[in-house]
Structure 1
Amino acid sequence: MKLLKGLIFLMIITQAAFAQPDIPKRKFHLYLLAGQSNMAGRGKVEEQDKTTHPRIWMLTKDNTWELATEPLHFDKPPVIGVGPGFAFAKAMADADTNVVIGLIPSAVGGSPIEVWEPGKYYEPTKSHPYDDAMKRARIALQKGELKGILWQQGESDSDSLHAGLYADKLQSLVARFRNELKIKSLPFVAGTMAEFYVNGHPCAKIVNEAIMKLPEQVKNTSFVSGAGLTEKGDQTHFDSVSARELGRRYAEVFKKLYN
């Protein structure tokens, strides 16, 4: 009996390791997760975060598909954790049981918005945030349809030198994504920074205002509020509970954009 159970377990592991989403392209809804560490996730990974969902997949670091579990990202392996992406995907999967959700984790901790431009290199992670995200998006598009971009970023631009430039850079970023991906009205939702960060960084308020005004400037965009969310003890990153709540808030906004 023990041998039989062992063989069954091995078969399950093997199938999961080599599984690929086998569904019509139009039913595989893709979402690009972009920005910096609060999108990548720094919350503590708990059991619920490690439990897969049969209709939620993620594009791995090696650009292969596997059932999603936290941590989704790989930008800074020693500190990665729970972000908003998985909770967002669960809410979207629950909202439409006829589709499969595909996540494209592409956030890079610490990255300012200026490195989210073609050719820009980010030394701390030895990566090209924008170029890498675009490359991963194009790979994912071979399997499904891109339904939106989630953008959680701003801490690295919350100073007197950069905050005033953020609005223009954000609008340019949206236009660039849409132009290069050839999706004219691709939904784009940006998240604001929480009070715990703004309280310690006054210029973050300027960045948040730019994010909240984005829908007035660019069609088919919206924002998610970070109000009321809590930090993990470092005055910068969301704890696990708040990261999941942020993901659900993203889902609510996306559902409104679709209606």
Structure 2
Amino acid sequence: MKIINLKLLLFSFMFLNVSSSVFAQDEYFYIFLAFGQSNMEGFADFEEQDTIEDDRFKVLQAVDCENLDRKKGQWYPATAPITRCQTGISPADYFGRTLTAHLPEEIKIGIINVSVAGTKMALFQKDNEKYVASSPDWLQNKVKEYDGDPYGRLIELAKIAQKDGVIKGILLHQGESDTGDQTWPVQAKGVYDNILNDLGLEANSLPLLAGEMVSAEQGGKCASMNTVINTLPDVIPQAHVISSTDCEAVEDGLHFSAAGYRELGKRYGMKMLSLLEQ
């Protein structure tokens, strides 16, 4: 009898632990991972309209920022800047705002943005030590903000987020530094596959939205890379390319203006809305 009671006690304890962890996760909290280089990091200066809080749009802070009174690994209102302490507005900002504007009120949106200006896709591979070591000091300094491992930081935060909500998709804007590299789609697939595997998710289970570089019509210096980016769905069934046509750019031919980021972010958002409705 004592043995049976002990077994029941142990079972009850295990059930309560499992139940508490399950019920702590909010199925109406949709979380999205974002990574890339400067355009996803946020290049343009943000404006007052980009700092208005939306109670349903949160960011899981990727680094400690005293100037923003934010600590790594904690949720905050997703107001610019949402990447690091001194970054600008990015497509992720208006991706989230677009979703909250169109989804039912009970649904909240969470963003995790781990991006590094000037980097190649190689930085987000697991065997990136040689790439980082051979990079210029300014890029290594940015990488140091993620303790030397941006990919590891993305996974670390995503695992925290999985306790709070449900990861629904991945946002990517990267390619300027890989312009002309025909292996880019395969590299991107490697990162995508690693993310899903490391988070315990089924293969090809999440949509991946990849934005185009500044278009040729806007003077894009890397516009030729868009042809390569548009082959991504050939290697990742869940990949979708977001057009940059008519998204306003700045004179350097590499980055979007604040207005361009808002428009590009809305396009990411509208595409994700169509996928969530399926």
Q: Which moved more, 1:246-255 or 1:190-199?
A: 190-199
Determine the C-alpha separation between the residues in 1 that align with 2:194 and 2:226.
Answer: 21
1:216 aligns with 2:234: yes
Letter in 2 for 1:37: S
* Residues 199-210 of structure 1 mapped to structure 2, 5 A cutoff: 201=221, 204-205=223-224, 207-210=225-228
Determine the C-alpha separation between the residues in 2 that align with 1:197 and 1:169.
Answer: 27
* Residues 1-259 of structure 1 mapped to structure 2, 5 A cutoff: 25-60=26-61, 61=63, 62-74=72-84, 77-78=85-86, 80-96=87-103, 97-121=105-129, 122=132, 123-125=140-142, 126=144, 127-159=148-180, 163-184=181-202, 185-196=205-216, 201=221, 204-205=223-224, 207-258=225-276, 259=278
TM-score by length of 1: 0.82
Secondary structure in 2 matching 1:230: coil
Determine the C-alpha separation between the residues in 1 that align with 2:106 and 2:173.
Answer: 28
Q: Contact (CA 8 Å) 1:197, 1:236: kept in 2 or not?
A: no
Deviations 1:80-104 (A, max 9, x none): 1111112111111122122000111
Q: Which moved more, 1:229-238 or 1:181-190?
A: 229-238
- Larger radius of gyration, structure 1 or 2? 2
Determine the C-alpha separation between the residues in 1 that align with 2:190 and 2:163.
Answer: 26
Q: Contact (CA 8 Å) 1:223, 1:253: kept in 2 or not?
A: no
TM-score by length of 2: 0.77
Q: Contact (CA 8 Å) 1:149, 1:188: kept in 2 or not?
A: yes
Alignment size in residue pairs = 230
Secondary structure in 2 matching 1:44: coil
Secondary structure in 1 matching 2:45: coil
Secondary structure in 2 matching 1:106: strand
Letter in 1 for 2:48: E
Where in structure 2 are there 5+ consecutive unaligned residues? 1-23, 64-71, 133-139
Where in structure 1 are there 5+ consecutive unaligned residues? 1-22
- Cα RMSD, aligned residues only: 2.1
Shift of 1:177: 1.7
Shift of 1:57: 0.7
Secondary structure in 2 matching 1:110: coil
Q: Contact (CA 8 Å) 2:219, 2:253: kept in 1 or not?
A: no
Letter in 1 for 2:83: H
Determine the C-alpha separation between the residues in 2 that align with 1:200 and 1:91.
Answer: 26
